[in-house]
Amino acid sequence: MITHYLDNAATTKPSAAAVDAMMRCFSEHYGNPSSLHMAGLQAQQETDHARAVIAAALGCDTREILFTSCATESTNMALRSTAAAYGRRRKKIVTSAVEHASVKNTLDFLSVNYDFEIVRVKPDETCTYKASDFFNECDDDTVMISMMMVNNETGHVLPVREVFSMIKRKFPHIITHCDAVQAFMKYPIKANALCADFISISGHKVHAAKGIGALYVKKGTKLRPLIFGGKQERGLRAGTESVPLIAGFGAAVETLSSDMDKRFEYVKSLNISLREKLMEQGSIRILSPADASPYVLSIIVPSIRSEIMLHYLEAKGIYVSSGSACSKGAGSGVPEIFGATSKEADSILRISFSAENTEQDIAALAEAVAAGQREIMHN
We find the least distance from the C-beta atom of residue 335 to ligand PLP, in angstroms, to be 15
We find the least distance from the C-beta atom of residue 211 to ligand PLP, in angstroms, to be 8
Residues in the chain: 379
Phi-psi region of 339 (alpha: psi -120 to 50; beta: other; left: phi over 0): left
Between 12 and 47, whose beta carbon lies closer to ligand PLP?
A: 12
Between 160 and 370, whose beta carbon lies closer to ligand PLP?
A: 160
Between 39 and 127, whose beta carbon lies closer to ligand PLP?
A: 127
User: Going by C-beta distance under 8 Å and a sequence separation of 6 or more, which residues neighbour residue 355?
Assistant: 263, 266, 267
Rounded distance, CA 167 to CA 196, Å? 10
Cα–Cα nearest to 163, from 187, 196, 208, 212: 196
We find the least distance from the C-beta atom of residue 213 to ligand PLP, in angstroms, to be 5
Task: Please confirm, yes or no, whether 60 is among the known catalytic residues.
Answer: no
Backbone angles phi, psi at 274, to 5 degrees: -65, -40
Q: Which residues contribute to the site for ligand PLP (CB under 6 A)? A: 70-72, 100, 102, 148, 152, 179, 181-182, 202, 213, 325-326
**Angle at which helices 38-58 and 16-27 cross, to 10°:** 160
Which residue in the list 127, 178, 195, 326 is annotated as catalytic? 326
The secondary structure of 42-68, three-state, reads HHHHHHHHHHHHHHHHHCCCHHHEEEE
Between 47 and 72, whose beta carbon lies closer to ligand PLP?
A: 72
We find the least distance from the C-beta atom of residue 297 to ligand PLP, in angstroms, to be 15
Rounded distance, CA 364 to CA 371, Å? 10
Between 213 and 323, whose beta carbon lies closer to ligand PLP?
A: 213
We find the least distance from the C-beta atom of residue 204 to ligand PLP, in angstroms, to be 6
Task: Report the 10 Å Cβ neighbour count for 202.
Answer: 29
Between 152 and 322, whose beta carbon lies closer to ligand PLP?
A: 152
In terms of DSSP H, where are the helices of the chain? 16-27, 38-58, 71-86, 101-114, 131-135, 160-170, 191-194, 243-256, 260-280, 306-315, 334-337, 342-345, 359-377
Rounded distance, CA 127 to CA 336, Å? 10
Which residues partner with 144 through β-bridges?
A: 93, 175
Q: Is 272 exposed, middle or buried (0-12, 13-18, 19+ CB in 10 A)?
A: middle
Q: What are the angstrom distances between the C-alpha of 304 and each of 183, 308, 351, 372? A: 30, 7, 16, 9
We find the least distance from the C-beta atom of residue 105 to ligand PLP, in angstroms, to be 11
- CA dihedral (320, 328, 295, 14) in degrees, to 10, reads -80
We find the least distance from the C-beta atom of residue 39 to ligand PLP, in angstroms, to be 29
Between 74 and 82, whose beta carbon lies closer to ligand PLP?
A: 74
We find the least distance from the C-beta atom of residue 282 to ligand PLP, in angstroms, to be 31
Between 82 and 182, whose beta carbon lies closer to ligand PLP?
A: 182
Q: Tell me the catalytic residues.
A: 326
